[in-house]
Amino acid sequence: MDFESIRRQFPIKSRMVYLNNASIGPLSLPVIEAVNRFLADVRDNGRNNYPKWCDKADNHIKERIAAFLGARRSEIAFVKNTTEGLLIVANGIDWKPGDNVIIADIEYPSNVYCWMNLKRRGVTIRWIKTRNGRFNAKDIEPLIDARTRLVSCSSVQFLNGFRVDLGQIGELCRRKGVMLNIDAIQHIGALALKVSDYPIDFLSAGGHKWLTAPIGTGIFYCRQEALERIHPANIGYHSVRDKSEDDIEYDLTLKPDAGRFEEALVNFPGVWGLDAAVEIIAKLGIRRIEAHIMSLNAAAREGLLARKYEIVSPSDEKQRSGILCFRHPGIATESLWERLHQARIHLAIRGGALRCSPSYYNDGEEIEAMLEALP
Ligand SMILES: Cc1ncc(COP(=O)(O)O)c(C=O)c1O
């Protein structure tokens, strides 16, 4: 599979220049076909293929996702979005009054409210004070004390595209005996990430951005060794060991893997689409995708600087990501956005800047079109 042929699978390309993948990625034809295949199966067969669906979801699709993330199949659960994964962790830890959690002051609200909500259980938040939207392990270390249970951060920040140093932060957490929880929705599908390379305990990512999977899908990773550190707050008939369907001998013995976090039927139609999307990304190769996206953003950066725009996102190569935020020193961001919008070029506004987020199906001509349309 190559970048050229995959572009033809994205009908959106004939309609507009879409550079807003950090908000919602458009669906490709193979993903829609996969969703429809599942729906047609239910249309034609009702529940008859249910055992096959479970086998496919739990064994084959989780296997593909696990391989993609450098995880084990048993460490993967399906969730409906990133927020659900964050909540599994927040509501699953056996907090004691006086415990604390460390987060940065620029996190997406999903990675804030779930911790704020623990106030009633006596848990406090210790805020990483970012400098110009950046932070590192040295900013976190002084915040850790004997009652710190967890550091929770996005590996790529939605506001400015800042990519955190997972190696450094992971090493700090391991040294201090603190759990590490990662919101990776702005990371996976755009940049390579192998969870086995870092001491990450939990990771969550919705499918609907860089993975170009349907809305309502997501991945939750729970490292095998961390499984017993959280107790599922939501328990249902899927959380427990498999039994025959007519068995009502209730036995709350949890599944021995991350499947315990799926309390009931998962979003099979969406998960079929997620599988097709991950298959495309895996076939293209995430390292090639990362190089492609980084080169599109590098071209955008160069053109913007030549036109005297200010780049808000980090310039340090190691801190760059699929997100490139910029603004003009003299022209309001809203009017730039409107101008691009009129030209059918779609970006987002975040933190008062334009946020450009090209994906694997975008190309250099689209970056050129954006540059040409800007004053
Ligand atoms: C960093 C980050 N985390 C979480 C979310 C919310 O994702 P979801 O709808 O999958 O919960 C977003 C959405 O923009 C995000 O950028």
Which of 23, 79, 183 has most ligand 1 atoms within 8 Å of CB, for mutation? 183
Determine the atom of ligand 1 nearest the C-alpha atom of 80: 10
Query: What pLDDT, on the 0 to 100 scale, is given for residue 241?
Result: 86
Is residue 248 scored above 90 in pLDDT?
A: no
Is it the case that residue 2 has pLDDT exceeding 80? yes
**Among the atoms of ligand 1, which is closest to the Cα of residue 154?**
1
Backbone angles phi and psi of 183, in degrees to 5: -95, 110
Atom of ligand 1 nearest to the CA of 206: 10
pLDDT at position 237 over 80: yes
Q: Minimal CA–CA distance to 135: which of 117, 115, 155?
A: 155
The closest-lying atom of ligand 1 relative to the alpha carbon of residue 86 is 11
Closest CA to 27 of 321, 229, 272: 272
- 15: helix, coil or strand? coil
Instruction: Name 102's bridge partners.
Output: 126, 151
**Predicted local distance difference test score (pLDDT) of residue 124:** 98
What value does the mean pLDDT of the chain take?
97
Sequence-separated (6 or more) residues with CB below 8 Å from residue 121: 95, 97
Residue 26: CB atoms within 10 Å: 17
Ligand 1-lining residues (CB < 6 angstroms): 81-83, 108, 110, 154, 158, 183, 185-186, 206, 218
Find out whether 31 and 212 touch, Cβ atoms under 8 Å.
yes
Instruction: Give residue 162's pLDDT band: very low, low, confident or very high (50, 70, 90).
Output: very high
Biggest CA-to-CA distance, the chain: 70
Split at pLDDT 50, 70, 90, the class of 242 is confident
Residue 124 Cα distances to 96, 307, 311, angstroms: 11, 46, 35
- pLDDT of 244 strictly over 80: no
Using a 10 angstrom Cβ sphere, with 0-12 exposed, 13-18 middle and 19 or more buried, the burial of residue 303 is middle
* HSE-up (13 A, CA, CB side) for residue 7: 16
* Reported pTM: 0.97
In angstroms, the CA 278 to CA 281 distance is 5
**Exposed/middle/buried for residue 54 (C-beta within 10 Å: 0-12, 13-18, 19+):** middle
Q: Is the pLDDT of residue 184 over 80?
A: yes
Beta bridge partners of 148: 100
Residue closest by Cα to atom 7 of ligand 1 = 82
Mutate to test the pocket of ligand 1, among 20, 186, 210 (most ligand atoms within 8 A of CB): 186
What pLDDT does 323 receive?
A: 98
Contacts of 106 (CB under 8 A, 6+ apart): 130, 133, 157, 159, 160, 162
Please answer whether residues 65 and 89 qualify as being in contact, where contact means their C-beta atoms are separated by less than 8 angstroms: no
Task: Give 25-71 pLDDT, tens digit per residue.
Answer: 999 999 999 999 999 999 999 999 999 999 999 999 999 999 999 99
CA 309 to chain CA centroid, nearest Å: 29
Q: Provide the pLDDT for residue 125.
A: 98
Does the structure show a pLDDT above 90 at 296?
Answer: yes
- Residue 286 identity: I
Say how many CA atoms lie within 13 Å of 327 toward its Cβ. 14
Whether residue 201 contacts residue 226, with contact meaning beta carbons closer than 8 Å, is answered with yes
